[in-house]
Amino acid sequence: MASNPEVGGLTPALKGAAEPASASAVATPSNPVYSGPALDRVIGIAALPRSGTTVLSAVLGAHSRIHTIYEPWNANKENLDLNKPIFLQGFLEQFSVQVHANDILLVKETTTDHRYLDRLNDLLTSVPDPIMRDLVVILRNPFHTFQSEVQARREWWGEGALEITCALFDEWAERSLANMRRLALMACRYDALIVSYERFVRKETAIQELMHALGITMEQAQLEYEKHVNTRDVRGDIGLASKPRPLQADSIERRGIEQQSLLSIINVSNYFEDIKAIEGALLSLAQQPLSRAHHCSLLIDALNKKRNYRQQC
């Protein structure tokens, strides 16, 4: 039988994540009074790996006010205690963050390790008044996320002979469903903006909609982010780091064709119906205006569903 990572799997920082966040961070010996740069806000971006966090961060980071940090915990995991809470003041010092003239700090992480979310949660929770905080969760068709991860493992992560099997899908689905619950809890805590990857890359006005929802005036550079992104800072998408390109939806159609060819392998998975239900909720989300978590109850319910883990393939 598969283990259940959801039982006790939510670390203490996130167990109460569905509750409203406190109005302001409280100074303690481990979270001293903030004395860093004059920030207007801190924005977190979170998602499953291969869901579009890198391109979303690059588009936002093309704005003149925004300083972007890509996957700080993932990029430095060998040298960090990932179980140790961190706060805004300590974050800026630990990662030698120099925001210069920027007054908005953007930090993106994925659920590659659930502790990355825990530390991002620490960071947002510690943001003191009057600095504002926000969270953006980007979600992609989960079948396409799986396919993209397989491709990345083959091309970039040294698993060139990796084959798609029901067991491989089960392993990914079990891990991803648990992490989707974490994302749902975190989204509820901060009433996150829920971004559909498909809508973001397809709809011409998606960037403007997102900036409006964040309360920040869009800049022209964001529509041509590929000309402005500092590729040396990019973490998470080797393709974007090596050759950034304009937003394109070609991968959606390509993954859709691939998905059909995989159905005979993965549709016998114990988790297939769970993933299919989330796919349906996300397809609906892609047709709707950009919303906060409290307006996406059907999707949040699908992500946050408690499941009984069954015998794998």
CATH number of the domain within which 66 lies: 3.40.50.300
Cα 263 to chain centroid, rounded: 26
- Give the pLDDT score at 26: 53
Can you tell me the distance from the alpha carbon of 307 to that of 181, in angstroms, rounded to the nearest whole number?
10
112: nearest Cα among 191, 33, 37, 54: 54
Range of 19's domain? 12-304
Q: How many domains does the chain have?
A: 1
Averaged over successive runs of 10 residues, the pLDDT of the chain (313 residues) comes to 34 38 49 86 97 97 97 96 95 94 97 96 95 97 96 93 96 95 94 96 95 97 96 90 93 93 94 94 90 88 68 53
Residue 141 near residue 48 (C-beta atoms within 8 A): no
Structural domain contains residue 168: yes
Q: Locate all alpha helices (DSSP H) within the chain, ordered by sequence.
A: 12-15, 53-61, 72-75, 88-94, 114-125, 142-155, 166-190, 197-202, 206-214, 220-223, 238-242, 250-266, 272-286, 297-304
Can you tell me the distance from the alpha carbon of 206 to that of 212, in angstroms, rounded to the nearest whole number?
10
Residue 223 near residue 166 (C-beta atoms within 8 A): no
109: nearest Cα among 183, 177, 171: 183
Q: pTM for this structure? A: 0.88
- Give the pLDDT score at 221: 97
Can you tell me the distance from the alpha carbon of 166 to that of 186, in angstroms, rounded to the nearest whole number?
30
Structural domain contains residue 158: yes
